Amino acid sequence: MLIVGGGPVGLTARALLDRWGVRTLLVERRRELSPFPRSRLVNVRSMEIFRQLGLAETVRKRAFGPEFGRVRFRETLSDSDFGTEAMVGVRAPIPESPEIGVLTSQDRLEPTLLAAADAPLRFGVDLVDLAEDDDGVTATLVDRDTTAESRVRARYVLAADGANSTVRQRLGIATTGPGALGESTTVVFDADLGRWCADQPAGVYFTTNGSFLPLYPEGGWAWFGPASRGGEVDWSARVTDALGPDIRVAVEVVRVQRWVMNAFVAERLRHGRIFLAGDAAHTVPILGGLGMNAGLADVHNLCWKLAGALRGWAAPELLETYETERLPVAHRTLRQAVTNAERVRAAQLARRAQRAAGDTGGAVELPWSERYFDQIGLILGVSYDSTAVRPDGSPPPPDDAAAYLPSGRPGARLPHCWLAPGRSSLDALGEWFTVLTPDPGGWEKRIGTTLPLRFESLPEGHAELYGIDPDGALLVRPDGHIGARLPQAPDGPVNL
């Protein structure tokens, strides 16, 4: 199995496939892990994935505390907030998950993911060609330092090589959506800004001069602003100006990155034996922190299916359900991210109108509810409809990013409940498929299947949450989504 791309999505795929017994090689064109903060929000669903991999506590220890789970709107960094909201599932725990989302810079997350598997990696390598046949894919690689060319043979390829995906472009897969929204610059810098921020922590400070983000618990900042035209730029002076006239501190620029904010979804997520995931499959505006998290959900959905096909207990047709299940989610994610960008812009325009009316001190009513960006339904409420789910006639959940109603409907994420102190229903899931039932002994005698399966006891008091009787059962997939719901025990054997 070949993985192209060594960002969070590719590294998580490597860890998942390693857990499921699949040999991989990961190749990355950069010579090392990214030194830039890039994605910063790991939402509750991604933390549940890391919990499954045994990584959640390590990620949490390197992240900011929950008090940073808030956004603040200011005219300049030294001004008072004219608006602020908590990030749902980050500022405080939510009853719908055993985990809490965290703020951690991508350059802090990637080393944890890198250490999660022992599978080989090659940095500083360009993929220059792919050739598919009936049995696999031949990839041609070029070492960027020595120009040495090599070929790698793999049964499948997972492309997580970013918004400018070489793999997607070589396959000729088109994209839909707004496309490039504009050029931006990230300036990583050191400065003592505690006087203006220490008592009012936040994950992001949106100002009229760009956004300021604390990078690490021990210090460091990033400024996101528009790209500069022309020649050399004094970035220290540029950041100093953006801080506003009342902040006069030394600004030491560490590094600068120019990038393009894109908004698109690939028309296909699969080309034969090659699959797209993460930004290669869908790239969305950064507001709301949806992009990386959607990519992690992609590979969580795909990797167990690849493992099943490679290990022989699943038919290759199972792989068709990756696109069926994840492409609609990609489009929903893009719509929500664009909405988030519009809402931030609306808040800034409302402040401008307020000042024009002569009100310089009042708060601005933010254009969303108390749940930051209204997206808990998109984070936890995704439900799949495909041949990898056995429908039971129950209605689909509403297409509402703000609404999440825990449900035992086939295709939905298994709802969280505490089975015992510190032990979630999500912790009861096995490495492969799990039958969750108040009567595991009875169901073990009834079920006939070629699937790798384990049986787990569900206390009777929790059966109603999942829509089953005391003798019913749920079949839960390796990605934590419900594959089948059997409300009552049948009279005879059950084939899955």
Residue 370: CB atoms within 10 A of its CB come to 9
- Report how far residue 176's alpha carbon sits from residue 118's, in angstroms, rounded to the nearest whole number: 37
Q: Is residue 374 classed as helix, strand or coil in its secondary structure?
A: helix
So what's the pLDDT on residue 370? 46
So what's the pLDDT on residue 402? 73
- Report how far residue 157's alpha carbon sits from residue 283's, in angstroms, rounded to the nearest whole number: 20
So what's the pLDDT on residue 369? 45
C-alpha atoms less than 13 angstroms from C-alpha of 397 in its C-beta half-sphere: 24
- Report how far residue 262's alpha carbon sits from residue 269's, in angstroms, rounded to the nearest whole number: 18
Q: What type of residue sits at position 142? A: V
Q: What type of residue sits at position 43? A: N
Q: Please state the pTM of the whole predicted model.
A: 0.93
User: Mind listing the pLDDT tens digit of every residue in the chain (496 residues)?
Assistant: 999 999 999 999 999 999 999 999 999 999 999 888 878 899 999 999 999 999 999 999 999 999 999 889 898 999 989 888 888 888 888 899 999 999 999 999 999 999 999 999 999 999 999 999 999 999 999 999 999 999 999 999 999 999 999 999 999 999 998 877 788 899 999 999 999 999 999 999 999 889 999 999 999 999 998 887 767 889 999 999 999 999 999 999 999 988 888 889 999 999 999 999 999 999 988 777 788 999 999 999 999 999 999 999 889 999 999 999 999 999 999 988 888 777 777 777 777 777 777 766 666 666 554 444 568 888 899 999 999 999 999 988 887 777 788 999 999 999 999 998 999 999 999 888 999 999 888 888 888 777 788 999 988 788 888 999 999 999 999 999 999 999 988 877 777 6
Question: What is the secondary structure of 151-179 as a DSSP string?
Answer: EEEES-EEE---TT-HHHHHHT--EEEEE
So what's the pLDDT on residue 183? 85
Residue 492 in tokens:
């005879």
So what's the pLDDT on residue 368? 52
Q: Give residue for tokens 């039932």.
A: 437
Question: What is the 8-class DSSP label of residue 486?
Answer: E
So what's the pLDDT on residue 400? 77
Q: Is residue 279 classed as helix, strand or coil in its secondary structure?
A: helix
Residue 6 in tokens:
């060594």
Beta bridge partners of 454: 434
So what's the pLDDT on residue 365? 66
So what's the pLDDT on residue 350? 73
For residue range 341-355, what is the model confidence (pLDDT) as tens digits?
777 777 777 777 777
Residues 6+ apart with CB under 8 A from 314: 305, 308
Question: What is the secondary structure of 411-442 as a DSSP string?
Answer: TBBPPP-EEETTEEGGGG--SSEEEEES-HHH
